[in-house]
Amino acid sequence: MIEIKSEREIALLKEAGRIVALCHEEMKKQVRPGVSTQELNDICEQIILAHGATPSFKGYGGFPSAVCASVNDVVIHGIPSKKTILRAGDIIAIDIGACYKGYHGDSAWSYAVGQISEKDQLLLKVTHDSLFKGLEQVKEGAHLGDVSAAIGNYATSFGFGVVEDFTGHGVGQKLHEDPPIFNFGEAGTGPILKEGMVLAIEPMINAGTKRVRVLKDGWTTVTKDNSKSAHYEHTIVVRKNGYEILTTL
């Protein structure tokens, strides 16, 4: 069942989302050659705690850190580490969740480390734009499959691999609620969107194969061909004629 949130709940989800957005604002400045993913994690955790929230991911299913930091061929769920030092030419996806007064915000963004190749610039741009192609479909009365198809068709048209093993999701008092939101599919299928549904839409797009595997740590998910991967995510609320982004300032 997909919950409809009240305006009171949406206000709390918006504050959680604002805290996540503050972290991403800081990451824009902090992502650079020489910084470790542990340092980035710790900066985000401090911002989240300083705003009266808690990191949604820490302890979730046993995840050890406040944020996910996924470098190059890591698709999602990269575990921050002092040993993972960013170098010029890397790309990194940072996925951040904050829980404020019991409500979650969830947003991922991909960043270039120093100068990156044109090929990697295209991967970031197409993944970013695929998120917004999907969001353009969101409004009361649309099918969820309209969103999925718009994302998948756009990314596939560039020859990129659309990850199928992980999805977006509803967000509320739980980090992951119904429905799962696939990044591929058919328009005109799936649940019908209603005002007040809160959704995290999050394309994960690979430069090569769509196939992924999970490393022995049980979290780190990498592309099977070691091609690079990008990830963008916003938590939004469905409105009558469109959507409102909650994970923004």
Which spans of this chain sit near Mg ion (rule: CB under 5 A)?
Answer: 95, 106, 108, 200, 233
**Tokens in use for 129?**
């734009």
15 vs 95, beta carbon nearer Mg ion: 95
Please, which residue, 157 or 165, has the CB nearer to Mg ion? 165
Give min distance, CB of 204 to Mg ion, in A.
10
Nearer to Mg ion, 90 or 106 (CB): 106
> Are 10 and 246 spatial neighbours (Cβ–Cβ below 8 Å)?
yes
Smallest gap from residue 205 Cβ to Mg ion (A): 15
Q: Which of helix, strand or coil describes residue 123?
A: helix
φ/ψ of residue 226, rounded to 5: 60, 20
Q: How far is the CB of 88 from Mg ion (least distance, A)?
A: 26
Amino acid making up residue 138? V
Cα separation, 215 vs 85, in Å, equals 19
**Rounded least distance, CB 23 to Mg ion, Å:** 12
Largest CA distance in the chain: 48
The SS3 of residue 150 is helix
